[in-house]
Structure 1
Amino acid sequence: MNKKNILESLKGGLVVSCQALEHEPLHSSYIMSKMALAAKMGGAAGIRANSYEDIAAIKQEVDLPVIGIVKRDYEDSSVFITATMNEVDEVIRAGAEIVALDATVRLRPNQQTLEHFYHEIRKRYPDVLLMADISTFEEGMKASGLGFDLIATTLSGYTEYTRDIQPPNIQLVESLAEKVHVPVMAEGGYWKREDLQRAILAGAYGCIVGSAITRPMDITRHYVDCLQTEEIKQ
């Protein structure tokens, strides 16, 4: 698919994030590929995946557009989602149609700014679709101005300066959708069907859901917690 068709295929749809980190029980490229297949069979419009191995395995299993990332920690930066060109190279080699990266104001490894990193990517991969994972309205506006193809509210509530915000941040979706001319994807903390519907009505181009679908440990904890309320205990 060309870039226009890839974006159109996500419109109004659900992207399922299929990720399991090394400390999680389902950490396996094979398992994530089958998770992606189950998501496709359930009607997903796309997949979000982490690591070269998982992305490559998922591309062998499903023909949906993949939003690819590589999560890697660096000692000199709190940015860990596709933080350097090494991670961008891995995502593209694995076959992802869209590269997502942290587009917050935080400095990247080696004190690199987002602006410098963005132009470095565009110079090496002029035709790649880039998605900005942001946490604030200002970051979304800046990403739009730089030229990102999509903006996602992924990090709202998860950066040091947005921890007082309880995801999902539907107001952020609405504010950005009113101001930018690129698709805004609702992502981060979506557990309820009605929140997805509210996000679309607020102007979201599409929605991305991960933990509520593909992380059984978190799903179990979600239900266990509801049984631990004072009302139930009484």
Structure 2
Amino acid sequence: MSSSVIEQLKGALIVSCQAYVGEPMRHPETMAQIARAAELGGAGAIRCQGLADIAAIKGRVEVPVIGLWKEGHEGVYITPTLRHAMACVSAGADIVAIDATDRPRPDGRTFAQTVADLRSCCDTLVMADCATLDDIRRAAAAGADLVSTTLSHGVAAIDCTAADGPDLELLRAACREFPAMPVVCEGRVHSPQDAREAREAGAWAVVVGTAITHPTSITSWFVEGMR
């Protein structure tokens, strides 16, 4: 089952469907409708945030659901504790995305301990959200099923010349060092060309969020372009 889900993601577009408190689209049913629309457009998986959204989307789509639970805005806030990860599994996530940095976590566990403890009680896959090559190394050593450049914003521990696009340098470095590890490109993928270049750079799959599912941001890009 696990290997089949990973293989299913190879070459796939993963669409991130997320909205936050105070935004007009912040409702689980709305996110589920967007997720279904993305699936109809060819999305190979959905990434989503929050227990209600995970449950609603899992009930609406047939593709794998990557779930996470964000709490807070600083430090480790993407599925920050074992409790958060277990809740994502209970809500229906096929894969749980967890911050894989070495920053302190609220429950005192390391990333490796979180993965080990989660696996001891839940049958789930783990996506490691990384910022640097060291994070990817840590995630690989901990046995993560996939690693992602989610947290890289042009300040990775290697030179990054794509400050306004996906961190292809980090992606290439990870693919070179871990040729057998599924490396997912996520972050600042704003166009089909960005997605194509990520695949050509070795990405197992590509995550697109804002450019597909956040109309406020998309509208602002057009408004800015017309000035």
Alpha-carbon deviations, 1:158-210, whole Å to 9, x = none?
88989x87241011111101111210000001002111111111110010000
**Partner of residue 100, structure 1:** 97
**Partner of residue 194, structure 2:** 195
Give identity over the alignment, percent: 38
How far apart, CA to CA, are the structure 2 residues paired with 1:128 and 1:61?
A: 20
Mapped contact 1:18–1:214 kept (Cα < 8 A): yes
**Partner of residue 136, structure 1:** 132
Q: Flag the structure with larger Rg.
A: 1
Comparing 166-175 with 39-48, greater Cα deviation is found at 166-175
Q: Structure 2 unaligned runs (5+)? A: none
Aligned partner of residue 44 in structure 1, secondary structure: coil
How far apart, CA to CA, are the structure 2 residues paired with 1:219 and 1:63?
A: 27
Partner AA of 2:64 in structure 1: P
CA gap 1:159/1:19 in 2 versus in 1, 3 angstroms: farther
Mapped contact 1:107–1:114 kept (Cα < 8 A): no
Comparing 38-47 with 77-86, greater Cα deviation is found at 77-86
Q: Using structure 1 for the length normalisation, give the TM-score.
A: 0.89
Aligned to 2:176, which of 178, 201, 205?
178
Partner AA of 2:144 in structure 1: F
Aligned partner of residue 128 in structure 2, secondary structure: strand
Mapped contact 2:96–2:126 kept (Cα < 8 A): yes
Partner AA of 1:171 in structure 2: E
How far apart, CA to CA, are the structure 1 residues paired with 2:170 and 2:97?
A: 19
CA gap 1:153/1:12 in 2 versus in 1, 3 angstroms: same
Partner AA of 1:37 in structure 2: R
How far apart, CA to CA, are the structure 1 residues paired with 2:154 and 2:90?
A: 28
**C-alpha RMSD of matched pairs (Å):** 2.0
Alpha-carbon deviations, 1:9-48, whole Å to 9, x = none?
1110100000111121100000000000100110000000
Q: How does 1:4-153 map to 2 (within 5 A)?
A: 4-73=3-72, 78-125=75-122, 127-153=123-149
Mapped contact 2:9–2:44 kept (Cα < 8 A): yes
**Partner of residue 152, structure 2:** 156
Shift of 1:89: 1.8
Moved >6 Å (runs of 4+): 158-162
Mapped contact 2:94–2:125 kept (Cα < 8 A): yes
Mapped contact 1:55–1:68 kept (Cα < 8 A): yes
